[in-house]
Structure 1
Amino acid sequence: MRRELLEVVVAIGCLASLSTGAVACESAPQNHGFKLKKVLPDCSFEHSGRGKWNYFGGNAVVDIGNGRIGQRIKSGQGCSPRDALFFQDCTTGESIVIEGKYFNSGIAGHVPTSIDLIQKPDGPIGLTSATTVPELEQIPVEHRYSFTKDVQEFFGRTEDHKRIDYTCGCKLYYPDSPGAKL
């Protein structure tokens, strides 16, 4: 009886490992960090990771209006892609980067984040032409999202990525603003 029970437990364990192990994550693009950094006129950027597996890039900057811009930042290593929301008020020069919310991808070792889960309709953030950095700063505090207001360090050169000019969006849409002159 014990042997039969052990065989059933082993069989269930094998099935469970097959059901989760059969799904593989799509890893970070290999060797992107060895390519030349590319920044386009819309302030999107790619190939800004460093090394074989690290990646760091951003979608085109979005003009929210009234001196505000936003951008989706994509980074990660291996099977853990991360989204962050970059927001800058070009009229004041203030800015913030808010990490996306973690979600269960169903794949072992895969811990992605998405900014879609922190923005409306699924999340509490709704960027408008009246949004301010101090208002945005309260949201990650209340909801326990990671964030930084030290965007110079966030976009600076690190072991994992190359330096990016975070004022690009202000220079593009609001060239005479304080945020463009940082």
Structure 2
Amino acid sequence: MRHAQTYAPLMAPMLAAAALAAPAQACDAPLYDPKWRDGPIRVAADCSFTDADEFPGQTISASRAQAIGNGLLGQVVTVYQACGIYQTLMVVDCNTTETLMIEAPEGNPPVSFGGSNNREIKDLYAPRGKLQLRKTDTVPRLQSRAASHGYETTTDVAGRIAQMKSRNRYNPFCGCALFHPDSAGAERAKTNATGRPVKKG
């Protein structure tokens, strides 16, 4: 495989995971459940997570960490609330500890189930979307390319996570400990998004 080629092995499993998270084709707005409790986030060994929800009727989860190349890892973060699905590609550079989030665009044509238009990862990647991941990517290069296609991006991933309740925060560098255990990102995997040590047990 030439370095300039799209890194299709990453896209296929991410799209498959995103498809599993997609809502049904009909939806009633969720009602308040008095039995709902804001439990702590659950993180699996592959760095996928569930139960990052912040209120009833919302679910926040992510696919497993996957290698893009050049020290970069990717995960799809999925938020489902008010009959809508909102997906984001989260990218971290384990060597530089740079981070990036790229918002999936509204579908073409937009699809809505009573709330805002859905934003699904399948509409971000080629061939439906315009984004291509490359094994030689860096965070600045990927952000520039995403922005050139009109996609919304942010490098303040820690700031976004810090807005969540502490029990629901996830560590974007989790996968660095798996794929690049001697990297600066792996060291950051020992702390949460605010820089505090991760509690064991």
Cα distance in 2 between the residues matched to 1:26 and 1:40: 30
Runs of 4 or more, structure 1, over 3 Å off, are 26-33
- What TM-score comes out, normalization by structure 1 length? 0.76
Deviation of residue 60 (structure 1)? 0.7
Q: Which residue of 2 aligns with 1:25?
A: 27
Q: Which residue of 2 aligns with 1:151?
A: 157
Q: Which residue of 2 aligns with 1:34?
A: 38
Q: Any conservation in 2 of the 1:76–1:82 contact (CA below 8 Å)?
A: yes
> Which amino acid in 2 is paired with 1:147?
T
Does residue 1:125 correspond to 2:131, yes or no?
A: yes
Provide the secondary structure at the position in 1 that maps to 2:141.
helix
CA distance 1:180–1:26, change in 2 (3 Å):
farther
> Which amino acid in 2 is paired with 1:91?
N
User: What is the alpha-carbon root mean square deviation over aligned residues?
Assistant: 2.6
Does residue 1:142 correspond to 2:143, yes or no?
A: no
After superposition, where does 1:21-100 map in structure 2 within 5 Å?
A: 24-25=26-27, 34-100=38-104
Deviation of residue 110 (structure 1)? 4.6
Q: Any conservation in 1 of the 2:69–2:137 contact (CA below 8 Å)?
A: no
Q: Which residue of 1 aligns with 2:18?
A: none
Gaps of 5+ in 2: 1-24, 189-201
Provide the secondary structure at the position in 1 that maps to 2:162.
coil
**Which moves more between the two structures, 128-137 or 28-37?**
28-37
Question: Out of 151, 164, 173, which is 2:179 matched to?
Answer: 173
Provide the secondary structure at the position in 1 that maps to 2:100.
strand
Q: Any conservation in 1 of the 2:100–2:156 contact (CA below 8 Å)?
A: yes
Task: Answer 1 or 2: which has greater strand percent.
Answer: 1
> Which amino acid in 2 is paired with 1:126?
Q
Q: Which residue of 1 aligns with 2:199?
A: none
Provide the secondary structure at the position in 2 that maps to 1:92.
coil
Deviation of residue 105 (structure 1)? 1.6
**Which moves more between the two structures, 112-121 or 36-45?**
112-121
Cα distance in 2 between the residues matched to 1:119 and 1:65: 17
> Which amino acid in 2 is paired with 1:25?
C
Deviation of residue 32 (structure 1)? 7.2
Q: Any conservation in 1 of the 2:91–2:99 contact (CA below 8 Å)?
A: yes
> Which amino acid in 1 is paired with 2:66?
V
